[in-house]
Amino acid sequence: MREQKRLFFGLELPQQCRQELIAWRAATFPAEAGQPMAADSLHLTLAFLGEVSEEKTRALMQQAGRIAQPGFTLTLDDAGHWPRSGVIWLGPRQAPRGLLQLAALLRSQAARSGCYQTPLPFHPHVTLLRQALQPVSLPPRNFCWSFPVERFVLFQSQFSRGRTRYQALAEWALR
């Protein structure tokens, strides 16, 4: 059988922001709220690709390399809880146009390459906690992290030793 990898396009968060987020999360949510994402796993998914062959990965990477759009500023000033998927997340109250454009382009390239894309609208978010299935009280919206986004990344998602890890395979500059 040909080798397949579980892939997605996404954004990394600056290291300082990740450190601040995990400190804030620890002070904001009780331990039983859910399973915290590791600091080095915090990301924003742009387009989920699923299990992809090497050949298709090459085609997707070529198309991603043709994207030419400027960077943008991402502000995380909103939080929410999706009880059905058990996710507590942070995201922007107002998604920047550049983010929506980038995600739409990657999602349509993925669909054209035969990767199933959910019909659900894109809801930009950074997953903070998983397995958050019980009701939780969300903090007042008095927080804000803001940073420039200058590149996007192709990640491989791998499950090993009881934990999902994300490895950056390639990245492209926004310019």
Q: Is 43 a catalytic residue?
A: yes
Q: Is 8 in the site for ligand 3AM (CB under 6 A)?
A: yes
- In the chain, the DSSP E strands lie at 4-12, 35-36, 43-53, 72-76, 78-82, 87-91, 126-130, 145-149, 151-160, 163-173
**Catalytic option among 5, 43, 81, 107:** 43
Number of residues that bind ligand 3AM (CB under 6 A): 6
Q: Is 123 a catalytic residue?
A: no
Instruction: Report in angstroms how near the CB of residue 136 gets to ligand 3AM at its nearest.
Output: 17
Instruction: Report in angstroms how near the CB of residue 147 gets to ligand 3AM at its nearest.
Output: 17
Taking only Cα atoms into account, the Rg of the chain, rounded to an integer number of angstroms, comes to 16
CA gap 51, 48 in Å, rounded: 10
Q: Is 157 in the site for ligand 3AM (CB under 6 A)?
A: yes
78: which 2 tokens?
A: 């909103």
Q: Which of residues 29-48 bind ligand 3AM (CB under 6 A)?
A: 45, 48
Instruction: Report in angstroms how near the CB of residue 42 gets to ligand 3AM at its nearest.
Output: 9
CB distance 88 to 34 below 8 Å: yes
**Catalytic option among 5, 56, 107, 125:** 125
Q: Which of 113, 111, 115, 103 is nearest to 149 (CA)?
A: 103
Instruction: Report in angstroms how near the CB of residue 122 gets to ligand 3AM at its nearest.
Output: 10
The sign of the CA dihedral 175, 96, 45, 130 is positive
Of the residues 31, 66, 118, 142, which one makes contact with ligand 3AM according to CB under 6 A = 118
Return the active site residues: 43, 125
Which residues sit at the interface with ligand 3AM, rule CB under 6 A?
8, 45, 48, 118, 127, 157
